[in-house]
């Protein structure tokens, strides 16, 4: 399902949707894209579509999302960490970073003298 002509204050834009849904938002410039993308309580995933890969990477670094795709969406690899920012989950799933969820670091100091 694709939602067109949405406005930044709409519920469909502000909340996370788990399903085959895409929300399309019009924008004037790159700064507005970043502002709208980051103006939410959530930050699980996002995508940037453009012919200018350098611009996409610059924009990707500014968007507060745990996963960001450029010119595609939804493909993940089991060795790449997956998880969100803000209120989109705790920690990471998949990849080496996921192991941190199951471990605790402890330092033990012993004086033998």
pLDDT in tens, the chain (113 residues): 899 988 888 888 888 787 788 888 888 888 998 998 898 887 888 888 889 999 999 999 999 988 898 998 877 877 777 776 677 777 777 777 777 777 888 898 999 98
The answer to whether residue 96 is domain-embedded is yes
The pair of structure tokens assigned to 54 is 């350098």
The answer to whether residue 48 is domain-embedded is yes
Rounded to an integer, what distance in angstroms lies between the CA atom of residue 74 and that of residue 100?
A: 24
The pair of structure tokens assigned to 105 is 């670091």
Give the 3-state secondary structure of 14-76.
HCCCCCCCEECCCCCCHHHHHHHHHCCCEECEEEECCCCHHHHHHHHHHCCCCEEEECCCCCC
The answer to whether residue 109 is domain-embedded is no
Burial class of 66 by CB neighbour count within 10 A (0 to 12, 13 to 18, 19+): buried
Per the structure, the complete domain to which residue 62 belongs is given by: 2-102
Domain of 96, CATH number, reads 3.40.309.10
Put simply, whether the predicted model's pTM sits higher than 0.85 gets the answer no
The answer to whether residue 52 is domain-embedded is yes
């Amino acid at each position: 399902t694709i939602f067109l002509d949405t406005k930044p204050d709409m519920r469909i834009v502000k909340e996370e949707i788990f399903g085959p849904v895409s929300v399309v938002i019009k924008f004037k410039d790159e700064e507005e894209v970043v502002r709208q993308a980051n103006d939410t309580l959530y930050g699980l995933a996002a995508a940037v579509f453009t012919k200018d890969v350098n611009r996409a990477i610059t924009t990707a670094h500014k968007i507060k999302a745990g996963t960001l795709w450029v010119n595609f969406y939804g493909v993940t690899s089991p060795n790449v960490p997956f998880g969100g920012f803000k209120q989109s989950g705790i920690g990471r799933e998949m990849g080496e970073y996921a192991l941190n969820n199951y471990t605790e670091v402890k330092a033990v100091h012993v004086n033998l003298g």
